[in-house]
Homo-oligomer: A and B are copies of this chain.
Amino acid sequence: MVTLAEVAQHAGVSASTVSYVLSGKRSISANTRQRVERSIRELGYHPNAGARALASSKSNIIALMVPLRTDMYVPVMMEIAIAVATAARTHGYDVLLLTGEEGPDAVRRVAGSGLADGMILMDVELDDERLPLLRATDQPSVLIGLPADTNGLTCVDLDFRATGALCVEHLAKQGHQDIAVIGEAPAVYERHTGFAERTLDGLRSRSRELGVRLLHRPCDGGYDAMAVTLARILDERPGTTGIIVQNESAVEPLLALLRQQGRAVPEDVSVVAICPDQVATQASVRLTSVAIPAQEMGRHAVEHLVAKFEGRGSDEVVLIAPELTVRGSTGPAPTRP
């Protein structure tokens, strides 16, 4: 294991000089810099992370807390996690993966031990139990998702309210009067996950404004649950011509069932999905959808956190504007007989 001191000796300078070459915090003559850099290369030197952390009180690590649940939105979570890791590297940070398992204790452990310089929390609930701790330790942090009280917190999320509104608008504009919403699993609502409720909020208020009728039903993933939910919807509102789905694992079952019942998409029923683009383009019908911008969310989260490290951060809520991509699954409402 090569140390700073060995590099210094090899280059014929003092240890501090090598350190300054590495950090650039003091000016170094071109000559010396080159000699040092050459020694570093020749000896294959890598600074020791622990020593660095100890001396500088900076670990260059960002903790990422992902939910333990694998019951929803897994690909999106994964994409966000990877986006976070990638973005973090471009700023010189590594990412520590914490699962929800430990719960709030993880916050305490990380903050207390100086393991990470800050943390990013995913899957934030409206009244998340980690938040009081986060506020107490003044650990720099960014949330992906929106809690009920965002006071003193920095949050990044898709604007799900606007997303809901956008979906309704798109269908209403095409003449749909009766719209059904197939939502997340009931458990998601029970847990008071913010995004689900906000989407619903956007859906409801916009449909009220536009004077269209809206029916919302939570739905577990999978074929069987979907069959029950769809039957119930069509029973209650036989005139439904527009469907909005917000549950990745309900998308394909829904399309299969519609097909099976002889309802053509988009001629008889229009379908709008809120899901990653990959799902929308790979489904059996190319779906008109609002994408979940996982990449962008991950990148934003990292950038805001790094900004905080550098003292230029501000507590703010960043809502990413939704974008609706029209594909083949929506069209004008069929004229009533």
Contacts and interface: CB of A to CB of B under 8 A. Distances in A.
A147 B58 CA distance: 37
Contacts of A75: 70, 74-75, 78
Contacts of A21: none
A75 B79 CA distance: 11
A96 B81 CA distance: 12
A101 B89 contact: yes
A74 B76 CA distance: 10
B82 A44 contact: no
Contacts of A53: 49-50, 53-54
Contacts of A54: 48, 50-51, 53-54
Contacts of A108: 46
A226 to B, nearest CB: 9
A163 interface: no
A45 B44 CA distance: 37
Given A51-B54, A74-B75, A256-B259, A249 B282 contact: yes
A61 B70 CA distance: 24
A314 interface: no
A47 interface: yes
A255 to B, nearest CB: 8
A114 B127 CA distance: 38
B85 A97 contact: yes
Contact of A95 (B97, B102, B259): B97
18 contacts: A44-B112, A49-B114, A49-B115, A50-B57, A50-B59, A53-B54, A68-B82, A68-B86, A70-B75, A70-B79, A70-B82, A75-B75, A75-B78, A77-B78, A222-B283, A223-B284, A223-B285, A255-B256
Given A96-B97, A256-B259, 6 more contacts: A44-B112, A48-B114, A51-B54, A94-B98, A96-B96, A222-B283
